[in-house]
Amino acid sequence: MVTHDMNKDEQVGFHKGSVSTLVKERQELVKMVSIVDQLIQLHVKALKDLGIDLSQQQQPATGKLEDKV
């Protein structure tokens, strides 16, 4: 991380660069979650069209599926 040998300008640059990188990483994760949610919704709809109602089933790790869709 930051050592005491770095001057203030170097520390500011280090932290700004870190924040910028982490914000970009977070944006990419949000995109991934959005895509996964869309895929889940498509599969749930397909199952409903086939007569399977997942809203009646409890999902162990995430709670009720209907809360997520």
Q: How confident is the model at residue 5 (pLDDT cuts 50, 70, 90)?
A: confident
CA distance 26 to 49: 35
Distance between the two ends of the chain, CA-based, in angstroms? 41
> Which structural domain, as residue segments, surrounds residue 24?
8-68
Query: Could you tell me the two tokens for 22?
Result: 């982490």
pLDDT in tens, 21-61: 999 999 999 999 999 999 999 999 999 999 999 887 766 56
Q: What's the pTM?
A: 0.62
| 3 part of a folded domain | no
Residue 37 domain flag: yes
Tell whether 34 is covered by a domain.
yes
Residue 23 lies in a domain: yes
Does 51 reside within a domain? Answer: yes
- Residue at 56 is within a domain: yes
**Is residue 54 domain-resident?**
yes
| Residue 1 within any structural domain of the chain | no
Q: From CA 46, how far away is CA 69, in angstroms rounded?
A: 13
Q: How many structural domains is the chain composed of?
A: 1
